Amino acid sequence: MSPEGGMSPGGYGRNGRSGHSGHSGRGRRGGRGTVAAAAMAAGAALHFLPGAVAWRKARCRLLPGLSGVGRPGHVALTFDDGPDPVSTPLVLDTLDRLGWRATFFCLGDQAERSPEMVRELVGRGHEVGVHGWLHRSHLRHAAPPVVRDVERARQLLADLTGTAPRWFRPPYGGVSLSSLIAARRTGLELVLWTTWGMDWEPNATGASVAARVADTWWPGGTVLLHDSDLTSSPGSWKATLEALPLLAERWALDGLTVGPLGDHFDDRRDQAGSG
């Protein structure tokens, strides 16, 4: 889990529980988070305040890359906190029916328990990102243990998939100086989200998740959902499953395409380069 909602509108912590090789040339991508270090470090405290919804909107405007704002007309669909041997396969089956690919921010300890699920994610055409080893806020930990946590998860996911992960999303979306140092040291690129479904809530339904995505919509945005209830209300992933076809209807009407973060950013860069 990494939502900015739970304690208050846009705050952090759904239910108060905590634990979602190839370095060459990656430092420059990870540097995007470093450029934003001062702003994010200063803004970290805002994640705990009722005004954090405004903070989300502000970072979408001021730090679009970090927030997940990509090319217009495209939705980056992301899932946190897996893989889970019960719920993740059902999410994958639904994505197959919809013809969608997504980015899954995996926890190292979950991946260690279900390595076959990590391989299946990649085998079905999805991206795997790093959510850390344990689901714990970086805002309360110094850089050395955070770097070890992130690197341990990065290495396991690289070993399981045969590909060095590119993306990193800190648990709870709490970006601290420790997070920025970890991203730099591991060659990962920090990315949060513009839009969430609040599918972690105990009373969430497919309709409520789809409505929350619409309410928090940001053009060219990155949507945060969850394929696991590890740090959510038990069975909350069922609301996520119910929401996906509803989102498909809405996005089809709006003429939006859906895909992983790599498509969200790289296609935009290719278009800029060809122009």
Is residue 83 reached through a cis peptide bond, with omega within 30 degrees of 0 on the bond before it? yes
* Enclosing H/E stretch for 258: strand 257-259
Place of tokens 């730099």: 184
What is the C-alpha separation between 162 and 160, in angstroms, rounded?
Answer: 6
Helices 143-161 and 177-186: crossing angle, nearest 10°?
40
Nearest to 241 by CA among 98, 91, 133, 99: 91
Residue 8 near residue 56, CB atoms below 8 Å: no
Q: Where in the sequence numbering do the catalytic residues fall?
A: 80, 226
Furthest-apart CA pair in the chain: how many Å?
49
